[in-house]
Each structure stands twice: as structure tokens, then as C-alpha cells.
Amino acid sequence: MLTIKVITEQRDEVIRRLAVKHFDAAEIIDRIIALDKTRRVSQTALDANLTEVNRLSKQIGGLMKEGKRAEADEAKAEVSRLKETNRTLEADKTQAEKDMHELLVLIPNLPHVSVPEGTGADDNRCEETGGTIPELPADALPHWELARKYDIIDFELGVKITGAGFPVYKGKGARLQRALVNFFLDCARDAGYVEIEPPYVVNAESGYGTGQLPDKEGQMYHANLDDLYLIPTAEVPVTNIYRDVILNEADLPIRNTAYSACFRREAGSYGKDVRGLNRLHQFDKVEIVRIDRPEHSYTSLEEMVTYVRSLVEALELPWRILRLCGGDLSFTSALTFDFEVFSAVQKRWLEVSSVSNFESYQANRLKCRYRDADKKVQLCHTLNGSALALPRIVAALLENNQTPEGIIIPKVLVPYTGFERIS
């Protein structure tokens, strides 16, 4: 959530930068500024009236002692009038604050100055590529057929048990899943991230804190009776650890990692691009989260990008990094880098990670702050990234590493899987 200070002091700049996200902010910004003026005028009048009430209240006792009953009654009447006025002023201020907050949560985060112009995925800018795209024979199989051939993922059984988008991993498929999770967690630990095991359901306050609510409630599974939400990513519970917390500057940056199952409704998703593991309603992911000082957060972002790159390189997958354009940037992000790996059978790039800096946008909603060297309390910056999401990693590993003798497991995973190939 943007701060009132930024909106009121940088109106034109806020409108200009939000236009990069194709968000027309002029009307809503001006309404917020008008409401803030109402709030401040009401508060000023309240403060003045309270001062006058205190002065008159002290005066009344003296007037009564002096026998000036008429003057005391007049002062009492004025106190009553001021208190009635204050009730109206307080109601006006409260309503203005409520209306202002309802508008503030509708405004997306400001994009970083380095975010390129663009309307969608085709306008994202490729920053770097690596790895070698394998040359496969014409009869190479897509991962969903490999899964059936080697009996490692059962999509139909998932439909029977739950529905489409909930596959069942079996045998070496299940062991590959577990191996990837453990490998990613061990790498994160070695990189200085503290592991968290979070809940998989969160309350509405947590969803609001990281920006899933009120923007994305239609994409989240909601347990109506308890008013709890299944998490779309471990980012939500892990970042909310620091909701309503004032940290010490010396403790920053905080680095956390967490494995979780992730649940996404993905309403409206259909077609060949969502086949197999390409888009699921439930999937496994390891997340990295950082809480940092504003002046250091972009250094943290670079470090996180470098770290995620090391993971895809270790898995020997062809990869590329995209800087997302304004039209493809999420509601809450200031700057995002997407990682994609190449599917040699599907002949397309598959997104496996997004690494983002949210600057103070989430922190303002969370009231996640730190006390600096001068004892001044300031908003933190929050960052997170997938490190990594499993489904499309598995899809690329199965497709790219297939041979007549079976599917070759990357060397770094063999100590975790306990086998070198799926056959």
C-alpha cells in the first residue's frame, strides 16, 4: 500500500509511474488527497476544540468558587457545544480515514524506474540466458506421456480423488519431488536462509498483509466456515511473521526459506499450455523471503537473482531471466525478474520462478518496520522469490533428459533421489 506522504507530496510522479502498469490513477489519487484534507482539517479542529474544552473545564471550577454561577453555566454550555461539535468532527475524520483506506488498497505498487514499457509477456525484456538446449529425436515424448510410460505421475488418479490439476506422484516420481524439495532447502540453508515450516492456511489479515486480499481472493481457496485461506505460496505466512513487528536495524536483512504446498484456483485456465504439469491447482515450492532496509533492498534483489540462477544451473537446465514489463508486473511488485527453463519437447519456455522487490508496499500494509541508528522507526522493504517451484522444473527435467535407456537424473540430485535414472 502506498503511503499518504508519497501520494500527497508526489502526486504527478505517482500518476506517471502507475501509467507504466497501465493503471489510470488520476481520479482515485485526487479523491484520496481530498479525503486526506478532510481528515487533517477535522483533526486540526478537534485538537483546537479539545484544548478549549480543557481550558474552560479548568475555568469552571474557579468561577464556581468565586460565585460567578452565570459565567460558569455559560462556560459549561460552551463545553457541551464543543463536545457535540467534536462528535461530528470525529465521525467525519473516521469516515474519511475509512474511505481513504478503501481507496488506498485499490492502488498498485509503483513500478521501479527500470521497469520497461509494455502491455504483456511479449514485451518482457530478456536479461540473460544460459545452459544448452538439448537436441532430442523427433519421437521424444512430452512429460505427461513420460509420466504415464514410467508410471511416476498419475493425472487421471488425481482427477478421481480431487479433480483436474491435482496429480498423484508415485514411486520414483514422488522420490524426485522429495529430492528437489530437500535439495532446494539445503541450498537455501547453505546460502544463509533460516528455514521456516509455516501453516498452509492463513487468516484474512495475513492475506491482506501481503496483498493477496482484496486483490486476488478469487484465486485463493477459501474455507468459508473458518474464514481461512489456503496459501498460494509460502511467501504469505512467512512474510506475515513480521506483521506488526519493529525490528532492529542490526538484524537486517532477515533471510527465511520455506517449503510448502501451494494452492491456486487458476480460474479460467485451459488449453494446451496448461496440460500436464504446466499449470496446477496444487504444487510444491520452496520460497525465499527477505526483510531489508530500503537502501539495501536492491542489493538483496541482485543476490536473490544470482542465487536462483545457481539452482537452475546446478540442475543443468537451459534458462533465461526476464525483466517484467509494466503490463506484466504484479499488483504488489516494484520490480520482478522471472526465471524460465526451456522445454525441449514442447518447444517453449516455462516459468519456474519470480523474484521480486515490493519495496515498502507490503511493509506498509503489514506495519513491518525497523528502528534505525537514530532510533527512528521506518518501513522495511520486503522481497521474495521462488527457489524453486517444482512442476515445470520436473516437466523440463523429464523431457530434456529422456534417453532410450530412461530419464537421466542430474548429478546434484542423485544423492537425494538414491537413483541415477528413471526407467
Residues with Cβ within 8 Å of residue 119, at least 6 apart in sequence: 22, 325, 327
Q: Residue 270 pLDDT > 60, yes or no?
A: no
pLDDT attached to residue 271: 58
265 appears as a binding residue in the annotation: yes
Strand pairing report for 282-292 and 381-389: antiparallel
**CA angle 247-249-250, nearest 5°?**
110
Report residue 197 as a C-alpha cell: 515450516
Higher pLDDT, 36 or 59: 36
201 appears as a binding residue in the annotation: no
Q: Residues 189-211: pLDDT tens digits?
A: 999 999 999 999 999 999 999 99
78 appears as a binding residue in the annotation: no
Residue count of the chain, please give it: 423
Report residue 126 as a C-alpha cell: 530478456
384 appears as a binding residue in the annotation: yes
351 appears as a binding residue in the annotation: yes
pLDDT attached to residue 64: 81
- The average confidence (pLDDT) of the chain is 95
Q: Residues 381-408: pLDDT tens digits?
A: 999 999 999 999 999 999 999 999 999 9
Between the alpha carbon of residue 262 and those of residues 141, 155, 282, 284, 367, the distances in Å are 27, 17, 5, 6, 25
State what percent of residues in the chain have pLDDT above 90. Answer: 91
Report residue 183 as a C-alpha cell: 535439495
pLDDT attached to residue 51: 93
Give yes or no for a contact between 362 and 166, defined as CB atoms under 8 angstroms apart.
Answer: no
Residues with Cβ within 8 Å of residue 197, at least 6 apart in sequence: 258, 259
Q: Residues 84-99: pLDDT tens digits?
A: 999 999 999 999 999 9
Per the DSSP assignment, residues forming a β-bridge with 337 are 323, 355
- Taking phi over 0 as left and psi of -120 to 50 as alpha, with beta for the rest, 335 belongs to beta
233 appears as a binding residue in the annotation: yes
- DSSP, residue by residue, 147-182: HHHTT-EEHHHHHHHT-TT--EE-THHHHHHHHHHH
Other CB atoms within a 10 A radius of the CB of residue 360 amount to 24
For residue 93, give the 3-state DSSP assignment.
Answer: helix
Closest by Cα among 107, 90, 84 to 33? 107
382 appears as a binding residue in the annotation: no
CA distance 69 to 67: 6
Q: Residue 7 pLDDT > 90, yes or no?
A: yes
Q: Which domains does the chain have, with CATH numbers?
A: 4-104 (1.10.287.40), 121-422 (3.30.930.10)
pLDDT attached to residue 68: 82
Report residue 75 as a C-alpha cell: 462556560
**CA angle 16-18-21, nearest 5°?**
125
CA-CA-CA-CA torsion sign (414, 415, 419, 422): negative
168 appears as a binding residue in the annotation: no
Average pLDDT over residues 130-159: 97
